[in-house]
Amino acid sequence: MRFDLPSDKIPTAWFNALAHLPEPMDPPLHPGTREPVGPDDLSPLFPMALIEQEMSPAPWVDVPGEVIDILKLWRPTPLVRAERLEQELGTPARIYYKDESVSPAGSHKPNTAVPQAFYNKAEGITRLTTETGAGQWGTSLAFATAQYGIECKVYMVRTSFDSKPYRRILMETWGAECVPSPVADPSSPGSLGMAISDAVADAAGRADSHYALGSVLNHVLLHQTVIGLEAKEQLALAGEGLPSVVIGACGGGSNLGGIAFPFMNDAGVRLLAVEPTSCPTLTEGSYGYDFGDTAGLTPLMPMYTLGADFMPPEIHAGGLRYHGDSPIVSALVKAGRMEAVACPQSKVFEAATLFARTEGKLPAPETGHAIRAAIDEALAAKETGEEKVILFNYSGHGFLDLSAYDAYNQGNLIDE
């Protein structure tokens, strides 16, 4: 019930959702002048190749061979039919998941960390800075920079730095430096927005350094489309046509965009974003221009947002605690092409535990959101008797989130 592709089937071009949007997107605005940003505004932070991808109108963008050579370490990833879960639910739906947990860092994030490190090195950059929340992105960039022999400094949200040492240890083992953020205020618990401010200020101040972002930006989502492109081929291998619905957990939108965008032109395929009720950007935020960070250093982006100073409550799905969302995902939701739902974490852990007991794998709490929605879709199909095909993104494993499972197992997990 597992559908594998040979390594020569790794996609050789990324799918560029920008070129396929129903309406052209509003441009990002300069934080000072509020004029549309141009390539020169971004060049202190990003290599020209990524700036071009950020704005590219090309429907497809070639994947460099040197990037494919590293992706081959774990790609193509498996597509698995969750038959035991289907049986447990008694649903006529067929449930498939794309297993991105098999990467070295344990999530989908290396799919973009590798090309970002590659393009920076190709333009002579020897050091990258970034922020990380729970640590998944920091570990992914630490892995990728180690592959290319460049330095990496990670600003980690202080609460996670203090409470979750394992991902810091992974980063350090891969050779990166990891410090708690905000650097200027050791009494603050920190937030993703503050950590972005720290990492951007560091990179902007040094000629040898650039900044790398793990989600939200167009080029990040572009790199993640290998997920959906492979899944399309694997569904055909499984004898399926198009899925009825494609589901992803949504923090900044990268794993969701990665699996869903290659299906955006396929009429009749529903696209579904799943977010936590405690950080309900798409379901309760407002659409408009906002900063990506707290200090107002980043360009203003058109997106659904809860406000750049929104402080989400502590939840176990740290990767979903971001006030904004990808402008492309936001545009698709606004246009009605993509749906969004929010789930409380108790229901998420109930679904994640059922998945672990039936399918064996222990999902990341973020991934649990996609599983919750997939199960709800399958239960709805049981009511109607519909034989629908559900595809979701298994964005990462939960081996470094065991304390969250412990809290759930002991009955100590609360909903905000």
Ligand X SMILES: *Cc1c(COP(=O)(O)O)cnc(C)c1O
By CB under 6 A, name the binding residues for ligand X.
107, 109, 136, 215, 249-256, 319-320, 364, 366-367, 395-396
Q: Which is closer to ligand X, CB of 113 or CB of 364?
A: 364
Q: Which is closer to ligand X, CB of 47 or CB of 276?
A: 276
Cis before 24 (ω within 30):
no
Shortest reach from residue 259's CB to ligand X, in Å: 10
| DSSP output for 41-76 | HHTTTS-HHHHHHHH---SEEEPPHHHHHHHTTTPS
Q: Which is closer to ligand X, CB of 117 or CB of 381?
A: 117
Map residue 263 onto helix, strand or coil: helix
Helix axes of 165-173 and 136-148: crossing angle, nearest 10 degrees: 10
Shortest reach from residue 395's CB to ligand X, in Å: 3
Q: Which is closer to ligand X, CB of 263 or CB of 388?
A: 263
Shortest reach from residue 181's CB to ligand X, in Å: 17
Shortest reach from residue 132's CB to ligand X, in Å: 9
Is residue 319 within 8 A of residue 374, CB to CB? The reply is: no
Q: How many residues does the chain have?
A: 416
Angle subtended at Cα 319 by Cα 24 and Cα 411, rounded to the nearest 5 degrees: 140
Rounded CA-CA distance 285/271 in Å is 19
Q: Which is closer to ligand X, CB of 210 or CB of 316?
A: 316
Name the CA radius of gyration of the chain, rounded. 20
Shortest reach from residue 257's CB to ligand X, in Å: 8
The residues, ordered by sequence, that sit 6+ positions from 34 with a Cβ below 8 Å of its Cβ are 300
Q: Which is closer to ligand X, CB of 130 or CB of 395?
A: 395
Which residue is closest to ligand X by CB? 396
Shortest reach from residue 8's CB to ligand X, in Å: 27
